[in-house]
């Protein structure tokens, strides 16, 4: 399996173990996030592999820097007085704070989050086309960065 997919799946597992009571439906991994307005009537948390940079740590160890997106989406009426969107921002900050503790992932014990970033509407690939006159969609995006060491191929002698 791909390192990116392994890390993204481990993040989904961690989210569902730690934040299950905050989620309306379990977090899922989607390589191409596809939510329609009906889906977003409830809170959706979607994890997507973003990218991977590989370097050689030693002659026998390869080091991958893997970034994954955690998207938080929910419909909010255009006239939301922040009572619906503020808890979504709080949840994003809670998720970011959890991963910033550098606790090893349950499914990948040697892997911890090295850093994170959180913002609203941070990436156009998560934006939904909606009728701005009646409904809006809150989209918060967390970018988590992990360092993964793995055995590499030996270079030719």
Whether the Cβ atoms of residue 150 and residue 60 lie closer than 8 Å to each other: no
Beta strands in 15-112 (DSSP E): 28-29, 44-56, 61-77
Is CATH 1.10.1200.10 what the domain over 3-151 is classified as, yes or no?
Answer: no
pLDDT, tens digit (0-9, with 9 covering 90-100), for 136-152: 788 888 999 999 988 87
How many residues are present in the chain?
157
Give the global pTM.
0.86
- Neighbour-count burial of 12, counting CB atoms closer than 10 A to its CB (0-12 exposed, 13-18 middle, 19+ buried): buried
> What pLDDT does 135 receive?
64
Q: Cα(95)–Cα(148) distance, rounded to whole angstroms? A: 20
Whether the Cβ atoms of residue 99 and residue 143 lie closer than 8 Å to each other: no
CA geometry: angle at 44 spanning 127 and 103, to 5°?
A: 105
Whether the Cβ atoms of residue 77 and residue 137 lie closer than 8 Å to each other: no
pLDDT at 27 over 80: yes
The domain locations on the chain are: 3-151
pLDDT at 155 over 80: no
pLDDT at 123 over 90: no
> What pLDDT does 146 receive?
95
Question: Average pLDDT in the 97-125 region?
Answer: 82
Average model confidence (pLDDT) across the chain: 85
- Percent of the chain's residues with pLDDT above 70: 86
* Sheet-wide strand order for 44-56: 28-29, 44-56, 61-77, 135-151, 113-120
> What pLDDT does 124 receive?
47
pLDDT at 128 over 60: no
**At 60, is the pLDDT very low, low, confident or very high (cuts 50, 70, 90)?**
confident
């Amino acid at each position: 399996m791909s390192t990116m997919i392994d890390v993204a799946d481990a993040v989904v597992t961690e989210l569902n173990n730690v934040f299950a009571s905050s989620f309306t439906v379990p977090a899922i991994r989607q390589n191409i996030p596809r939510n329609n307005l009906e889906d977003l009537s409830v809170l959706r948390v979607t994890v997507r592999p973003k990218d991977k940079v590989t370097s050689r740590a030693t002659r026998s160890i390869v080091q991958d820097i893997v970034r994954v997106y955690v998207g938080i989406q929910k419909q909010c009426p255009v006239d939301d007085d922040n009572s619906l969107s503020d808890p979504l921002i709080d949840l994003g900050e809670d998720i970011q704070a959890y991963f910033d503790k550098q606790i090893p992932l349950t499914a990948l014990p040697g892997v911890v989050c090295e850093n994170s970033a959180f913002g609203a509407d941070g990436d156009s690939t998560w934006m939904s086309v909606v009728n701005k006159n009646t409904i809006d969609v809150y989209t918060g995006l967390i970018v988590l960065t992990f360092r993964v060491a793995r055995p590499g191929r030996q270079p030719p002698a």
